[in-house]
Amino acid sequence: MRNTGLEKLDGLVGTWAMTLSNAPFLLEGTEVPGTATIEWLGEAFLTMVQTFEEGEGRSTTTGVFGRSDANDAYVVLYHDERGVCREFAMTFEGGHWTMLREDPDFHQRFVGDVEKDRILGRWEASEDEGATWRKDFDVLFVRT
């Protein structure tokens, strides 16, 4: 039986064209294309695989979305090709999607506004435990 709490995320399932932009680590005006595929893994998890083409390279990240029913909370486990693993707390309510990690190295969050066929989001980071935030980059998802 499908987890009813995770069913709220069903609108994310599909294939998305992505555009990363407004990043301080890129030349001004540079946009990096990518794709995201979100699909069900069994009845209680979603997976999201994101791939960006960066010049001659490629970066891929994987997220597994789950839920703690007892805590009424979503959780995302993240991994990338560098071997980095992270855990994010997640909320998804009324078309607003957030993922937040508060780790000793730094805090990081994703904030996105979800529409039927478009997600407008941004990644932010904080080196002072969330007192101030700086934008890492914007990311646009468009359903394909």
DSSP code of residue 104: S
Calpha distance 87→63 (Å, rounded): 9
Contact present, 108 and 80 (Cβ < 8 Å): no
State mean pLDDT over 15-28. Answer: 93
Q: Give the model's pLDDT for residue 26.
A: 87
The pLDDT score that the predictor gives to residue 53 is 83
**Listed residue (130, 83, 93, 128) closest to 109, CA to CA:** 130
- Please tell me the total number of residues recorded for the chain in this structure: 144
State residue 20's pLDDT score: 95
Here the tokens at position 93 are 């309510």
DSSP, collapsed to helix, strand or coil, labels residue 12 as helix
Q: What is the mean pLDDT of residues 8-34?
A: 94
Stated pTM of the model: 0.92
Q: Report, in this order, helix, strand and coil percent for the chain, each rounded to 5.
A: 5, 65, 30
**DSSP bridge pairs for 36:** 16, 50
C-beta of residue 75 within 8 angstroms of C-beta of residue 68: yes
CA distance 33 to 106: 26
- Biggest CA–CA distance in the chain, Å, is 48
Which domains, and CATH codes, for the chain?
Answer: 6-143 (2.40.128.20)
Which residue matches tokens 């990081």? 108
pLDDT digits (tens, 9 = 90+) for 97-121: 999 999 999 999 999 999 999 999 9
On average, the pLDDT of the chain sits at 94
For residue 55, the model assigns a pLDDT of 67
